Structure 1
């Protein structure tokens, strides 16, 4: 029983050492010469002009979420399409139900205006 705990303790020490050792070494070996120009905020090497916060419309996020959801659904349909000849009737009914729900969600998003860009 002691050997199982020793393995666990060695694993824990290794799990803590590998990420912490580079962090500690980087703190000790880094060059540290702060200056006002190095500590100023910049974007792509240029000084920031105006307000740095830009508000986006919520429709952009909804459009992106709809794209991700439909993209993942296509990923689920692709393996089924590859194995079409070897699946039975139950799998056919299941994928038809899946595609009906997919189409229903697309129509719902379209009616709510989530797919309108402007």
Structure 2
């Protein structure tokens, strides 16, 4: 009984929050004037959306992934400074191996080459 009450409370709250979110996010009738970019009341001369380089986006995502992985390496290095454990070292080496293989794959694929 001690598990059932908090579980039901959590379930009820989550259903309530989802219901409120669905009702508040309902779209109203889409109007051409509301969806078009505003240029002093005139029809736009060209597209409002500028083309975006997909290569730049891919490079930014790769940077973010490796940035997070570097942040994950720092606690391992701190752990090594206090005590050396072979299991931690094996995890560190496997993590680094996966990182290096990922960089080599992206390099071979051409994702890191900006000029191509």
TM over 0.5: yes
Query: Bigger relative contact order, structure 1 or 2, given CA contacts below 8 A and separation 6+?
Result: 1
1:113 to 90, 110, 115: 110
Q: TM-score, normalised by structure 2?
A: 0.58
Partner in structure 2 of residue 81 of structure 1: 77
Q: Using the TM superposition, give the Cα deviation of residue 87 of structure 1 relative to its aligned residue in structure 2, in angstroms.
A: 3.8
Q: Using the TM superposition, give the Cα deviation of residue 50 of structure 1 relative to its aligned residue in structure 2, in angstroms.
A: 3.1
What number of residue pairs does the alignment pair up? Answer: 97
1:51 aligns with 2:68: no
Cα distance between partner residues in 1 of 2:100 and 2:90: 15
Give unpaired runs (5+ residues) of structure 1.
17-38
Would the aligned equivalents of 1:109 and 1:115 in 2 still touch at CA under 8 Å?
Answer: yes
Give runs of aligned pairs for residues 84-103 of structure 1, distance below 5 A. Answer: 84=80, 85-103=82-100
Cα distance between partner residues in 1 of 2:85 and 2:46: 62
Aligned-residue RMSD, C-alpha: 3.6
